[in-house]
Structure 1
Amino acid sequence: MSDQFRLGGDLTIDRLGFGAMRLPQDRPGGPARDPETGRAVLRRAVELGVDHIDTAHFYRSENGSVHANTLIRETLSPYPDALVIATKVGPVFGPGGPRQGTPADLRPQVEANLESLGLDRLDLVYLRVGTTRPPHGESLAERFEVLAALREEGLIRHLGLSNVDAGHLAEARAIAPVAAVQNNFNVADRDETTVLDACAQAGIAFVPFFPLGGGGADIDDPGLVKVAGRHDATVHQIALAWLLSLSPVALAIPGTGSVAHLEENLAARSIALTAEDLADLG
């Protein structure tokens, strides 16, 4: 199985990338990280060959002092030619907490990402809907049409969807090409297998936003521990290797604010799971 994927048919990226959500703070409501720590992680990620960074303008510390996009721009701009930066729009954050954005909110959000990242065009923009589970039965057509128009203007190269079901994917594809889908999925939470299958059939990237069981999930199950021992690896490394073994369209974007954890995650690229390993993982 190839270690690379052609995103949208024209951007070749490694299937193991980096998620920027944890750069500003380790957890929601937690203290802000030292910005220099985030810069060190980003520099090391690029040194180790990361060519796909997933971020969002709303990835920031609780007090607003540290922004992921600002760290990315300050550390990596001018960007390497091969680096693909993906971002997401949709949620609106205010004093009462996040709410689902309206179509009118999307252009300002895209423009905010362009400005904070220092780009003239965004490689990939996901429309994020709902919270951690797809809002079944809710139409996204009007919102996706706004992003499709911004793509036609040249502000966006490729479009993606986040937190959607197979019906949403079909609805969006009738409007404009979809290059990637980002849903909650990992070895301990496989509810979105139907969406993965739909992506595989269409050659669309499937990019789990909790590849290591984020959001409180526990992935330290007996199968992972057993396989990790067999490979002298960590359970997180095996969880990433399992994800990449599922399908040629499966990508992973584990996030961290630690250089050591970054290096551990990226080392999962060298782990080849056997049929016995996969049977133990279920």
Structure 2
Amino acid sequence: MAADGFAIGGDLRVGRLGFGAMHLPTAAGSARDGAIAVVRRAVELGVTLIDTAYLYGGGANEELLAEALHPYPPGLLITTKVGVARSAATGEWRLDGRPEVLRDQVERGLVRLRTERHALLQLHRVDPGVPLADQVGTLEELRAEGKIARIGLSEVTVAELAQARAITEVASVQNRYSVFDRAHEPVVDACTAAGIAFLPWRPVAGGADAPRRLRDTVGAVAAETGATAAQVALAWLLARSPVILPIPGTSRISHLEENVAARHLRLTPEQRERLDAPAT
């Protein structure tokens, strides 16, 4: 996997197939024990990039990862996200990019993850009620203070990415993207041109809503290669651009092992051409 790696921010090298921790159960009991086993198995399989967020259980997901993996093995990156908060009045989650909220979530995340600095910290969403410059500027201030090493964004447009890059160096972008969902194709191209890591979320989902032609093509390539449709979807992403680092998530070890095995699947030029056809 190391030979198939990517250096986030130009210096933080990780394997290109990561793990998304969002779906891991965190409540006490056998399900939590199973979640810990899944995370540990991911590291055993060579996964060196794990994605979490404050939103995932109000920090409970971060605490789970720390319980499972701390002290962290060398080379392991756990990246988290801030910028979504629960309303004290309604209990509902909403975007909140106010500087004081971002700062508080970054600080508390350090405690939960048992680390002194976030190797990669991503803005979960751009809050339209707060100037982007204030949101990114706050993260840049925290980087200057040594609490963040690298800054990333999530669910941004090409224009928002350009605006953020005028304020600080952007190491990663995390948008929804897959062989079935290519709405953010321009962002992928912008990240590729700039050498910015692109972490697609929902990298294998969405097939049920995709055009029949595309679903049939993915199924046909899976049959030709002896792989699953999910493995084909991941292999397509890895071949799409060298900056793409998929982060498929699961709460089952068998599914995890299936996903990780996709790093060995090589599509032929002809198969890629068929899969590259517009998803319409």
Amino acid corresponding to residue 95 of structure 2 in structure 1: Q
In structure 2, C-alpha distance between the alignment counterparts of 1:232 and 1:213, rounded to whole Å: 20
Give yes or no for the alignment of 1:49 onto 2:49. Answer: no
The CA RMSD measured in Å over matched residues stands at: 2.4
Amino acid corresponding to residue 129 of structure 1 in structure 2: R
SS of corresponding position for 1:187: coil
1:129 CA drift (Å): 1.7
- 2:258 corresponds to which residue? 264
- 1:18 corresponds to which residue? 19
Q: Matched residue pairs, number?
A: 269
In structure 1, C-alpha distance between the alignment counterparts of 2:159 and 2:244, rounded to whole Å: 20
Give yes or no for the alignment of 1:223 onto 2:217. Answer: yes
Cα distance change on mapping 1:88 and 1:35 into 2, 3 Å: same
**Which is worse superposed, 212-221 or 246-255?**
212-221
In structure 1, C-alpha distance between the alignment counterparts of 2:155 and 2:190, rounded to whole Å: 14
- 1:100 corresponds to which residue? 95
Q: 1:23 touches 1:33 (CA, 8 Å); kept in 2?
A: no
Q: 2:180 touches 2:206 (CA, 8 Å); kept in 1?
A: no
Amino acid corresponding to residue 75 of structure 2 in structure 1: A
1:216 CA drift (Å): 7.8
In structure 1, C-alpha distance between the alignment counterparts of 2:221 and 2:155, rounded to whole Å: 30
Q: 2:54 touches 2:84 (CA, 8 Å); kept in 1?
A: no
1:229 CA drift (Å): 0.4
- 1:28 corresponds to which residue? none
Q: Could you give the per-residue CA deviations for residues 56-103 of structure 1, whole angstroms, max 9, x where no partner exists? A: 12212xxx7x92211111111000110011110111123342211122
Q: Could you give the per-residue CA deviations for residues 111-149 of structure 1, whole angstroms, max 9, x where no partner exists? A: 121111111101111112259xxx7x9841111100000
Cα distance change on mapping 1:17 and 1:243 into 2, 3 Å: same
1:279 CA drift (Å): 2.3
Relative to the length of structure 1, the TM-score reads 0.89
Cα distance change on mapping 1:68 and 1:217 into 2, 3 Å: farther
Q: Name which of 60, 84, 95 aligns with 2:77.
A: 84
Cα distance change on mapping 1:33 and 1:67 into 2, 3 Å: farther
- 1:153 corresponds to which residue? 145
SS of corresponding position for 1:92: strand
Cα distance change on mapping 1:238 and 1:33 into 2, 3 Å: farther
Q: Name which of 174, 195, 203 aligns with 1:211.
A: 203
**Which is worse superposed, 251-260 or 66-75?**
66-75
Amino acid corresponding to residue 13 of structure 2 in structure 1: T
Q: 1:124 touches 1:158 (CA, 8 Å); kept in 2?
A: yes
Structure richer in helix, relative to its length: 2
**Share of identical aligned residues, percent?**
48
- 1:114 corresponds to which residue? 110
Q: Name which of 235, 248, 251 aligns with 1:254.
A: 248
In structure 1, C-alpha distance between the alignment counterparts of 2:125 and 2:54, rounded to whole Å: 16
Q: Could you give the per-residue CA deviations for residues 31-51 of structure 1, whole angstroms, max 9, x where no partner exists? A: 997110111001100100011
In structure 2, C-alpha distance between the alignment counterparts of 1:33 and 1:178, rounded to whole Å: 39
Amino acid corresponding to residue 162 of structure 2 in structure 1: A
SS of corresponding position for 2:201: coil
1:178 CA drift (Å): 0.3
Give yes or no for the alignment of 1:182 onto 2:165. Answer: no
1:232 CA drift (Å): 0.8
Task: Give structure 1 stretches of 5+ with no counterpart.
Answer: 26-30
**Which is worse superposed, 67-76 or 227-236?**
67-76
Cα distance change on mapping 1:4 and 1:32 into 2, 3 Å: same
